[in-house]
Structure 1
Amino acid sequence: MAHAAPAPGMRPRTTAITAGTTTTPDVFGARTHLIAKWATPVVIGLVYGYWAAANQRHGGPVTGWNILFGFVTALVFIGLYAAVRALASRMRREVHALLWAAFTGCAVGFLISQTGASVLNSAGIAVACAAGWFGVLFYRYYTHEDAEGHRIF
């Protein structure tokens, strides 16, 4: 397997945690990361609120109550997303993955329930999504920790 040769005069960055290994440079500054930290849940929440409102009206006309429902749904989603993000990072990898999987399953189940589907259908799809997401996240968190359970990056 071929690897790119370092450019002349360039030295790879190292961190104190992984002394001797290279890391990718941080292209954006702290201000950009702070903006992205709060802009991401807001944008995702607005899309989620619009999606829930569109599911609820079943392709009918947009009403004031439908718009209100979309914005309230977006606010609740943003609040829960921020709470899960704040709590999950302090948990062990199993609970961390379980918390995000439960959040994702509930969010998907709510969207499905707004279409008028049965409760069993909504719950079944939500559990299937949560189980798949748990598997993906557990694998990611498990492979990004050292033997003592400390996150590598």
Structure 2
Amino acid sequence: MATQTATPRHRRRRRTPAREHHPLGLLLPALLAVTVGIWAASILRFQNDGVATGGQWVLGVVCAVVFGALAFGLGRIRHSLPREMRALAYGALTAVTIGFLTSLADGSVLRSAGIGVAVGVGVGLVTFYYAYTHE
């Protein structure tokens, strides 16, 4: 029967499996956020002769939440970014964080920006090198 080969066969579409998230995808930003929050609160606590106040803890929690959200979001979109933009994004996040923490420690604007940019450039270069050698 010639008609049997003429009828189109319906191919089953492969269903793309749901992307499984690695446990480090949530754990690493959370640990880094807690570290940044404690660091910010402790900087202000040491400036206040070791007396803990509510404002220090609020600043620490706000810093932790903002940094954690940015780090988590960047971790989710990092695979869609080209390696140059990925390195720039990680470097910028690090530069802003280190610059802000330096400014909390009574650093001048120039000193905070200089240290933040220096650390951000270093992180960006390391991130670019890692992405370039592992793709």
Cα offsets for 1:9-56 (capped at 9, x unmatched):
xxxxxxxxxxxxxxxxxxxxx78x33x321221122111101011112
Q: Does 1:87 align with 2:74?
A: no
- Alignment match of 1:97 (pick from 87, 94, 98): 87
Q: Which has the higher contact order (CA 8 A, sep 6+)?
A: 2
The answer to whether the 8 A contact 2:88-2:124 is kept is yes
Q: Does 1:125 align with 2:115?
A: yes
* Corresponding position of 2:103: 113
Asked if the contact 2:41–2:56 (Cα under 8 Å) also holds between the matched residues in 1, the reply is yes
Give the CA deviation at 1:132: 1.1
Contact 2:30 2:68 in 1 (8 A): yes
Superimposed CA distance per residue, residues 105-133 of structure 1 (whole angstroms, 9 cap, x where no aligned partner)? 11111110110110000000011011111
Q: Distance in 1 between matches of 2:39 and 2:28?
A: 16
Partners of 1:88 and 1:100 within 8 A in 2? no
Give the aligned partner of residue 35 of structure 2. Answer: 47
Structure 1 segments (4+ residues) deviating >3 Å: none
Q: Which has the larger radius of gyration?
A: 2
The unaligned stretches of length 5 or more in structure 2 are 1-19
Matching residue within 67, 72, 77 for 2:62: 72
Q: What's the TM-score once normalised by structure 1's chain length?
A: 0.69
Task: Structure 1: give runs of 5+ residues left out of the alignment.
Answer: 1-29, 146-153
Bigger helix fraction = 2
- Which whole-Å CA distance do the structure 1 matches of 2:91 and 2:78 have between them? 11
For the aligned residue pairs, the C-alpha RMSD in angstroms reads 1.6
Could you tell me how far 1:62 is from its partner in structure 2? Answer: 0.5
Q: What is the TM-score normalised by the length of structure 2?
A: 0.78
CA contact (8 A) 2:33 2:67 kept: yes
Aligned sequence identity (%)? 38
